[in-house]
Chains A and B, each alone.
Chain A
Amino acid sequence: GQSLEQPSEVTAVEGAIVQINCTYQTSGFYGLSWYQQHDGGAPTFLSYNALDGLEETGRFSSFLSRSDSYGYLLLQELQMKDSASYFCAAWGAGTALIFGKGTTLSVSS
């Protein structure tokens, strides 16, 4: 089967750094994506890693280790507006993007 595991909830304070981990098990693997979703609205794309290593985009970074079937999303200088659900998603065999169940991030002041 194909599955992605990520923590269900993470809490942090403004200005802090938080890391959301994702482990995956897929039949075939092409890359790992991250999406953000506010209050059940349209998911928005954050990042995509096809190769091992760290990709940095502003306050957000994403990491992938193909040998460990593991990745993470790193959010720095947290702001209240970062409170949302974060989903990792893997491109496996075939054409379907498989999503994890999501991590709810709560940022407090």
Chain B
Amino acid sequence: NAGVMQNPRHLVRRRGQEARLRCSPMKGHSHVYWYRQLPEEGLKFMVYLQKENIIDESGMPKERFSAEFPKEGPSILRIQQVVRGDSAAYFCASSPTGSYNEQFFGPGTRLTVL
């Protein structure tokens, strides 16, 4: 039973390029969460999605960032026109329901913006 999958594990982009981060939740999980972690910091909630719906995007920057979780395929976190401040580890988590229970995290994508 595969866990949460994220790819790529490492991504290098130059300023102004686009970054696409993918997340496949655990089998049977329909709730996906994205978090950002800076060095020596905790995880910062970004967005919560269910299939084809954004439930809570209160942690998403207003510009350049978007997320989707289509009916088929992985969830995508997209960062347009990346800047150096976007360099961070981005973690995806999934859960079987949206209630206050355990979230299962993926290994993360380390984004480096040159």
| Interface of A toward B, CB cutoff 8 Å | 4, 30-31, 33, 35, 40-45, 48, 50, 87, 89, 91, 94-102
Contact = CB atoms under 8 A, between A and B. Distances in A.
13 contacts: A40-B108, A42-B4, A42-B106, A43-B93, A45-B103, A45-B104, A48-B100, A48-B101, A48-B102, A94-B58, A95-B55, A98-B45, A101-B40
Contact of A97 (B3, B37, B103): B103
A95 B108 contact: no
Contacts, number: 60
Instruction: Classify the interface of chain A: helix, strand, loop or mixed.
Output: strand
Contacts of B90: none
Interface of B: 3-4, 33, 35, 37, 40-45, 48, 55-56, 58-59, 89, 91, 93, 98, 100-108
Nearest to B42: A99
A38 to B, nearest CB: 11
Given A45-B104, A48-B102, A101 B45 contact: no
B105 A42 contact: yes
